[in-house]
Structure 1
Amino acid sequence: MAVKPERGLTPARERFAQLVGSGINQAEAYRQCYPSSATWKPVSVHQKASHLAAQPIVAARIAEVQAGAAERAELDGAEILKEIKRLALSDIGGIMHEDGKRVKLPHELDPATRAAVASFKIDEYGRIEYKFWDKNAALEKAAKIKGLYEVDNKQKADALGELLQGLSGNVMGPAPGAESPAMHFPDDDGDQHGE
């Protein structure tokens, strides 16, 4: 007799729901949970997996696993802003030891300096080379978030508006009675004719 966990699923069905919920296709999840299915025809595995995934208790568990994964994958807006601020205000001076003669190894860096590091290389002699994230890009993002470009954009929009307002009513077409230039296109025999 199969043991059913708290959710009412057998261990194999719980594992199937976990695998499918994490993004593995149903047939592969079924094969992993039911090893004897490895010798079955693919169509049989697909049918069994589809049937299992459609069972209400299994489908509910798959949805629960997917929701949990989505929640864990979400970025918090405050975390994003904190990281942008950290990069925008970063100081690479944190890579040096207090004596000013030696460069710190990555594990010796303070969290703010470590966050500013995009990558590093250590050569065969133990020399370390750091590459930092683009501070200008972080500053630009911070400026956009703070709305600092709105003032500049408003000034540009106001200037265009003033120009258009100044032209309003002052644009004139051809004088009455004047002929407008005709557009000429060649017809099939090569003669030029006006439209």
Structure 2
Amino acid sequence: MASTLKIGITGGIGVGKSTACLIFKHLGIPVYDADTRAKWLISHHPTLISEIKAYFGKEAYFNGELNRRYLAEKVFIDKDNIQKMNSLVHPKVGEDAKQWFNEQEGKYPYIIKEAALLYESGSYKELDKVIVVTAPLDLRIARIQARDPQRSKEEILGIISKQMPEEEKVKRADFVIYNDEKQMLIPQVLTVHQALINLSKSNHVPIFRS
């Protein structure tokens, strides 16, 4: 088998990345969920825990778990603090993902890394191809409110405003999946899946990342 391709899948909050990834999983493709792993590392990685405490204070943890209420009230209202937290977490996730990639090498035609901030963190540079899942803003808001009814529309728009615009992500993508409830999702995933299978059979996959 040719070298396993490393594929990224990203998109803003509420676009349905996890739904698309579930279809890929049913096709037998392993998926690394960067956001879920980040939450695990924040609570279990000794070095990361020490770095977070050193910068944000010991109150950042309570009973061995990240004190999300403290961080939400004292830290995440500051853009610089958000960037600092990301600068601590993203390298650890990158190391963890690299180890996972190595464990899958040669076993599959391609594997997927799912991450909301794939472009923002710069981790897309380490991947062969990137899939962007996109959806209209009003639909994204409705999905988030259905999933997290405690979130107000203003809060959701605030989160979205801090992420790279969807138009920019789509422009950078190698593949785009439209999860707009107008186009069927499964056929789109199957088309991308077949394209990646075909790519995996070639000896060389050009990578253009900047």
The TM tier, using the shorter chain, reads: under 0.3
User: Normalising by structure 2, what TM-score?
Assistant: 0.19
Q: Which has the higher strand share?
A: 2
Structure whose CA Rg is larger: 1
